[in-house]
Amino acid sequence: MNPENLIPSIEEGITGFASSAEATAKFEAGKDHASQAASELKEAAILKAQAVKSSTVLKAEDVRRKVEDRVQDARSRCEQRTRNEPLKCLLYAFGIGFVTGYIFRR
């Protein structure tokens, strides 16, 4: 091994580049590569966010439909019970109203 090959010459300078134009060109190439990688990462993040958003919207709509169905079912059962046993429901409503009035009066 020749030790002279390990030490950069004065023309190459400390950085190992033959000229500042070469160093600038390599810097610009690295900068362009980093910019391209950042834009690709941004696009991938946007696509992922859109996928998560659409998935969340679908799940929310499904939950809303299920809740609406359960509320409608409970309402129809309550109406049916009221039609079948009107006196019993009237007494329950009176009792609940009486207790509520007693509590709020204090």
Query: Distance between CA atoms of 47 and 66, rounded to whole angstroms?
Result: 29
Q: What is the pLDDT of residue 3?
A: 52
| Number of domains comprising the chain | 1
Domain coverage including residue 93: 3-105
Mean pLDDT within 29-41: 92
Contact yes or no for 82/92 (Cβ under 8 A): no
Instruction: Evaluate if residue 51 carries a pLDDT over 80.
Output: yes
For 87-102, write each residue's pLDDT tens digit.
Answer: 999 999 999 999 999 9
Per-residue pLDDT at 47 exceeds 90: yes
Task: Give the integer Cα–Cα distance in Å for 99 and 106.
Answer: 11
- Please report, as a single letter, which amino acid is at residue 73: D
Give, for 1, the enclosing helix (H) or strand (E). none
pTM confidence score: 0.50
Closest CA to 102 of 88, 49, 94: 94
**pLDDT for position 85:** 93
